[in-house]
Structure 1
Amino acid sequence: MKNIAVIGAGTMGNGIAHVFAQSGFKVNLIDISQDSLDRGMSTIGKNLDRMVSKGVIEEDVKNSTLGNITTFTDLKNGVQNADLVVEAATENLKIKLQIFKDLDEICAANTILASNTSSISITQIAAATQRPYKVIGMHFMNPVPIMKLVEIIRGYSTSNEVTQTIMELSRQLGKTPTEVNDYPGFVANRILMPMINEAIETLYNQVAGVKEIDTVMKLGMAHPMGPLQLADFIGLDICLSILNVMYDGFKNPKYAPCPLLVNMVMAGKLGVKSGEGFYDYSESRKAEKVASQFS
């Protein structure tokens, strides 16, 4: 496996492209927007610069990594020679089903199709194709270049051969693949999202404030980041989407999103990416914009 196509140049997509390219694979990064591609490549460049400054990699590794990535706005051209396609588009079932239907029609018969979905059924995604045995989940963790885990999700029809291929490929990236079965939320989010939702309920019920809740979990449970700060980092809209998938899948009230989370998403308070969530990031975002003008 030499040629990788990654669909989506956002936070997860550019991170996935980064790790494949740094591991020596040829990567086609695909997005419908050239602006998104430019932002994605800029992020990869900045992350590589940070790694160089910390002595993690040499300058030649940075240059070879960037040289391994080619950008495309046309899906057909971008996936033409791919051995593996990793879809990292927005967490929306309708969008993902259309992407996989299109991929099935334009990719070579031997191409493996993977989704970075954090909660949507791989079996359901695979049903949009004529090759369900070649469809699998590769759920990378954010930030992708740093986090070691890749949750490997087997759909109902995913073959043993494809599963083992993707497990080994993940190891080649320096990751630790962990195989799980296809149920709503898989393992990571089935455990994480109810915890985040309970932290939001705790705030909603005025048991404690934002900083106090996060402090208890950081100092009392040795979490590197409090659940409310983590929710901001993930994106409150993503948290809401995942909780809704699990609530719809299990019909269990313990997965029902807290009303406060629903209201914040409706109000556009999505966390870091919108400049405000449980914490205010507006000043840091302004500082980043000013700094980018001089970089």
Structure 2
Amino acid sequence: MNISRIGIIGAGQMGGGIAHVFAVHGFSVTLYDINVQLAANGNAAIQASLKRLVEKGRLTEEAADLTLKRLSPTDDLGQLRDAELVIEAAPEQLDLKKRLFAELDQLCGPHTILATNTSSLPVTELAAVTSRAHRVIGMHFMNPVPVMPLVEVIRGLATSDETFDVIVALAQAIGKTAVPVRDYPGFVSNRVLMPMINEAIYTVYEGVAAPEAVDQIMQLGMNHPMGPLKLADFIGLDTCLAIMETLHEGFGDSKYRPCPLLRSYVQAGWLGKKTGRGFYTYS
């Protein structure tokens, strides 16, 4: 299956990053969000990222211009009708994603592959609301998408070999390493990462150490490039909480219980870097 037209749902940090990578590699990309301003903001963020790459000598001005010409921001979901692959990068809310997949199933042609960038939710359950479960798959990109080389490729129960092979080849075509995993809560990346972040939050909650100390110990003692609490702020504390809740519900194991301090921060609107405050304060 030859794929040249990509639709992306969600022009935020993840969706914008995915759009950026596909456009740089020559694909035509339609970037959708619920209103035109959000879609335009996503496009502007990509433009700013491309400008930085040009300034650093990693991309020519001509290549940056061509990349922008391949991007079409929109608030009209119908503009994704002719895409051969649609990647959903909406917030981690199962009901929202299921509504989107049901709508895309009606909108897109029968050969269109529907992918989700979910970081923890069941691909099989999303596929079940469509009439093309064999063409539904997970493509979990890492943040920041233009930099991180990994894509977790998650097969639902009904995902066909053909769909899997197409997505693996496509990930390779945009310079990523595709690693197959089974459809379990959190897959591999977040099943391992999020409990570590949650435990780091517990150490702050229980007064064992300050956030700076926790991060310094993990960086200097464990050679992590970024401490777990700084990373949590970067991911978004609301996203961290949603993933922990998915793990807790999916496995029914108390070891995945979200830390009460994480809940409190999310309730306060302290979501990390994107809101200016989390475990650290950002200007």
Q: TM bucket by the smaller chain? A: over 0.9
Aligned to 1:133: 134
Does 2:260 align with 1:259?
yes
- Distance in 1, matches of 2:231 and 2:73, equals 30
SS of corresponding position for 2:175: coil
- Distance in 1, matches of 2:42 and 2:75, equals 13
Question: Which of 23, 33, 49 is 2:25 aligned to?
Answer: 23
- Distance in 1, matches of 2:256 and 2:65, equals 45
Cα deviation 1:163-187 (Å, max 9, x = unaligned): 0110000000001111100000000
- Distance in 1, matches of 2:91 and 2:77, equals 16
Aligned to 2:181: 180
Q: Which letter maps to 1:209?
A: A
The Cα shift of 1:114 comes to 0.2
Aligned to 1:289: none
Aligned to 1:64: 66
Does 2:15 align with 1:36?
no
- Distance in 2, matches of 1:277 and 1:73, equals 30
Q: Which letter maps to 1:259?
A: P
Q: Which letter maps to 1:238?
A: T
Identity, in percent, stands at 53
Q: Which letter maps to 2:87?
A: V
Q: Which letter maps to 2:92?
A: E
Cα deviation 1:218-277 (Å, max 9, x = unaligned): 011111100000000000000000000010000000100001101111111110111100
The aligned runs of 1:113-124 (5 Å cut-off) are 113-124=114-125
Cα deviation 1:98-152 (Å, max 9, x = unaligned): 0000000110000000000000000000011011110000001111111100111
The Cα shift of 1:86 comes to 0.3
Aligned to 1:237: 238
Q: Gaps (5+ residues) in structure 1?
A: 285-295
The aligned runs of 1:84-99 (5 Å cut-off) are 84-99=85-100
Cα deviation 1:189-229 (Å, max 9, x = unaligned): 00000000000011111111110000000011111100000
Query: What is the aligned-residue RMSD (CA, Å)?
Result: 0.6
Q: Gaps (5+ residues) in structure 2?
A: none
TM-score computed with the length of structure 2 as normaliser: 0.98
- Distance in 2, matches of 1:256 and 1:84, equals 36
SS of corresponding position for 2:146: coil
- Distance in 2, matches of 1:106 and 1:43, equals 28
Aligned to 2:222: 221
Cα deviation 1:8-47 (Å, max 9, x = unaligned): 1111111111000000000111111111111101110110
Aligned to 2:109: 108
SS of corresponding position for 2:138: strand
The aligned runs of 1:143-154 (5 Å cut-off) are 143-154=144-155
Aligned to 1:166: 167
SS of corresponding position for 2:30: strand
The aligned runs of 1:35-54 (5 Å cut-off) are 35-54=37-56
- Distance in 2, matches of 1:17 and 1:263, equals 33
- Distance in 2, matches of 1:196 and 1:11, equals 20
The Cα shift of 1:83 comes to 0.5
The Cα shift of 1:81 comes to 1.1
- Distance in 2, matches of 1:130 and 1:80, equals 16
- Distance in 1, matches of 2:132 and 2:168, equals 19
The Cα shift of 1:279 comes to 0.2
The Cα shift of 1:74 comes to 1.0
Does 2:203 align with 1:202?
yes
- Distance in 1, matches of 2:55 and 2:98, equals 41
Does 2:242 align with 1:247?
no
Cα deviation 1:55-101 (Å, max 9, x = unaligned): 1111111000000011221112x212111000011111111000000
- Distance in 2, matches of 1:130 and 1:137, equals 17
TM-score computed with the length of structure 1 as normaliser: 0.94
